[in-house]
Amino acid sequence: MADTLPPTDRSCDISQPLERLSPDEALKAGSEYLRGTIALGLLDRITSAVPGDDIKLMKFHGIYQQDDRDVRDERRRQKLEPAFQFMIRVRLPGGICTTERWLKISELACAHGNETLRMTTRQTFQFHWVLKHNIVPVIRGLHEVLLDTVAACGDDSRGVMATVNPQFPALQAELAALAKTVSDHVIPKTRGYHEIWYGEERIASSEPEEPFYGRTYMPRKFKIGFVIPPNNDIDIYAQDLGYIAIAGKDGKIAGFNIAIGGGMGRTDKVPHTYPRTASVIGFITPDRLISVTEAVMGVQRDYGNRADRSRARFKYTIDDKGLDWIKLAIEDRAGLLEPARPYHFTSNADIYGWVESDDGYHHFTLFVENGRLNRDTLDKIARIAHVHKGHFRLTPNQNLMIANVATADKPKIDALLVGSGLIAFNEHSVLRLNSMACVAFPTCGLAMADSERYLPTLITKIEGILTRYNLQDEPITLRMTGCPNGCSRPFIAEIGLTGRAPGKYNLYLGGGFHGQRLNRLYRENIGEAAILEALDEVLRHYATERLPDEHFGDFTIRAGIIREVTEGRFSND
């Protein structure tokens, strides 16, 4: 079938010698399958950092070197190196967490993570503030409950997402299991992780260490997710590879529509970078899931741009080669795809409070502002974990679901929620409940402005505007990031804010309510007063001129306030 694939430009892909590609490719190739000098760097007591190349390699192990940016300048004057510490991201496919694992993670966060824990937009945990000498204890602690951090970052398949929607409990359970299977299948297989973190001996073997990835792994990160319509909680259009479950008449999964090429990141003032919503290219039956996943990732591995990292995501490969060519290349490897089946999304938000599923179980979704769990909250949730017989689910909106509570156990959980005061977490405005912020300052190295620390106060001010126009009950998605890389998926929010400099943000409008449409830059590099002024103006129009049930994002386009983005590559026009 290879003959049927039209020729394509291969000047920037894996077929080229390393010296023609980005330096990161040579780094990966020379890293002995991600080992580098990580083990040595951990022993260096003169610095709390690791050597430059190891910083990049450790990402593949789920570990980011960061520093406390609040004190960076102060410490420079004090002749102290930056307050380096590490963020460790757990691999938690589908966001499913047993109570045993919850308690272990909570304990590790209190012991080594500065008594704080972050639930992320990709349904996992992040430890922050972990000092170099505490990385091994954290990773070994996770290993005790059979968790790892492999490929939670790096140029590889990142944590695989799956809907937490309890509306279809059997489908959800099946999807969560598939997410785990796919994740286990596509993570790096190097034994370096075991050697560095568990202290295992290196075993000589004639088998290839990375049968799928090879020495240079993916051109960049690769994100996979599973969803069940109509709730698009995982933001399927933001995934490199999304599987939209299609239920059969028997109520079981008949197969999946395949969506490819979603991605959020862009770089300010670099027009050839842009967010892109995924394109649906066909349908497959469940038995083809692994082979299609390998085919899609294989196409990106082999044809993705390895010369220019700002163009290395799958979305650019698709736009550079053309969607039709990419589909051909996938079919060339995995066989023909069936035509996509109809589906329909209504929302990408969580449903808060108690929900009963048709299997008789109850599920409580707790709003956790920006996913941040402090010591007090961790202690309260731990008390629930000690009695809870079901499991926890981390939602893609950074919230927490106490899942699978039997009717008989519901009063006990309820009493703990009420008694601890956790229940009050859900007593917020609709706007706040539909908001998300990334971490940003002080720990994230990419941040240009505050996000998690600032969004709560900004929301309070926007709430005032909404109340003035009697819009306080209207769900509007609002997402903020501290930089344009898009961790909280701001480019598909109805109101998006991305940091440019301390106190300054780009304001985006016009995103789709359930994540189906990108927004567009409305005001650039503005401070709080200008943000509030702009929103006041637009919301005033919305209050008086909107159609019945018309979402805010749709209104801004219809009213001509912002021009619709039909495709990512046109979003900078």
Partner 1 sequence: MTVSQFSGAALTAEQWRLVEALSSSLTPEHAYWISGYFAGIGSALLHKGTTAAQSPDTRISTAVVQAEPVAARSLTILHISETGNSTELAIRLAALAIEQGLNPTLVDIADYKVRKLKEEQDLLIITSTHGEGDPPQSGMEFFELIESRKAPALPELRYAILALGDMSYEHFCGAGKRLDERFEELGAKRLQPRIDCDVDYEELAAAWSSNILALLTAEKRAATSSAASQLETTGSTQQADNSAYGKRNPFPATVIDNIVLSGRGSTRETHHIEISLADSALTYEPGDALGIVANNDPVMVEALLTTLDMNPGTSLTVKGQVTTLFEALSKLFEITTATLRFLDHWGELTGTTDIFTAMDNVERAAFLHEHHIIDIIRAFPLKGLDPQRFIDGLRPLQPRLYSISSSLAICPDEAHITVAPVRYKLHGEIRSGVASSHLADRANADSILPVYIQSNPYFRLPPNGEPIIMIGAGTGVAPYRAFMQEREANGGGRSWLFFGERNFRVDFLYQTEWQDWLKNSILTKMDVAFSRDNAEKTYVQHRIHEHAHDVYAWLEEGAHIYICGDALRLAPDVHNTLVTVIEEQASVQREEAEEYLRNLQRDGRYQRDVY
Annotated binding site for [4Fe-4S] cluster, which residues? 438, 444, 483, 487
153 a catalytic residue:
no
Q: Which of 28, 56, 132, 158 is catalytic?
A: 158
Q: Which range binds partner 1 by CB under 8 A, 39-47, 204-212, 268-276, 441-449?
A: 39-47
Is there binding between residue 76 and partner 1 (CB under 8 A)?
A: yes
Q: Considering the complex, what minimum distance in angstroms separates the CB of residue 77 from partner 1? A: 6
Q: Considering the complex, what minimum distance in angstroms separates the CB of residue 18 from partner 1? A: 27
Q: Considering the complex, what minimum distance in angstroms separates the CB of residue 83 from partner 1? A: 6
Is there binding between residue 115 and partner 1 (CB under 8 A)?
A: no
Half-sphere exposure of 188 toward its Cβ, with a 13 Å CA cutoff? Answer: 34
Q: Within its chain, how far is the Cα of 143 from the centroid?
A: 23
* Cβ-proximal residues to 172 (8 Å cutoff; 6+ apart), any chain: 162, 163, 164, 165, 166, 228
Q: Which of 28, 59, 89, 220 is catalytic?
A: 89
Is there binding between residue 48 and partner 1 (CB under 8 A)?
A: yes
DSSP string, 434-460: TEEE--BTTT-TT-SSBSTTTHHHHHH
CB-based burial of residue 209 (10 Å sphere; 0-12 exposed, 13-18 middle, 19+ buried)?
Answer: middle
438 a catalytic residue:
yes
* Residue ranges at the known binding site for siroheme: 487
Q: Which range binds partner 1 by CB under 8 A, 72-80, 257-265, 278-286, 313-321?
A: 72-80
Q: Which range binds partner 1 by CB under 8 A, 44-52, 244-252, 278-286, 520-528?
A: 44-52
Q: Considering the complex, what minimum distance in angstroms separates the CB of residue 409 from partner 1? A: 40
104 a catalytic residue:
no
The CA–CA distances, whole Å, from 552 to 457, 485, 557 equal 21, 24, 9
For partner 1, what does the binding mask look like between residues 77 and 106, x meaning CB under 8 A?
xxxxx-x-----------------------
Pairing of strands 96-98, 161-162: unpaired
Amino acid at 4: T
Q: Which of 56, 301, 483, 569 is catalytic?
A: 483
Q: Which of 12, 97, 153, 487 is catalytic?
A: 487
Q: Considering the complex, what minimum distance in angstroms separates the CB of residue 68 from partner 1? A: 9
Segment 377-436, which members bind partner 1 (CB under 8 A)? none
Among 18, 26, 27, 71, binds partner 1 (CB under 8 A): 71
223 a catalytic residue:
yes
Q: Which of 438, 479, 489, 546 is catalytic?
A: 438
Rounded distance between C-alpha atoms, residue 343 and residue 178, angstroms: 20
Nearest CB to partner 1, comparing residues 65 and 172 = 65
Q: From its phi and psi, is residue 476 left (phi > 0), alpha (psi between -120 and 50) or beta?
A: beta
Among 110, 131, 173, 247, binds partner 1 (CB under 8 A): 131
Structure token digits, residue 459:
């929301």
Q: Which of 12, 444, 489, 569 is catalytic?
A: 444
Task: Return the number of other C-beta atoms located less than 10 Å from residue 99's C-beta.
Answer: 19
Rounded distance between C-alpha atoms, residue 568 and residue 519, angstroms: 9
Among 45, 249, 269, 344, binds partner 1 (CB under 8 A): 45
Identify which of 146, 98, 84, 149 has the alpha carbon closest to the alpha carbon of residue 120. 149
Number of chain residues interacting with partner 1 (CB under 8 A): 16
483 a catalytic residue:
yes
Cβ proximity of 226 and 178 under 8 Å? yes
List for the chain the helix, strand, coil content (%; round to 5). 40, 20, 40
Identify which of 179, 182, 278 has the alpha carbon closest to the alpha carbon of residue 226. 179
DSSP annotation of 339? P
Among 11, 47, 407, 457, binds partner 1 (CB under 8 A): 47
Binding site for partner 1 (CB under 8 A): 45-48, 71, 74-81, 83, 131, 133
List active site positions: 89, 158, 221, 223, 438, 444, 483, 487
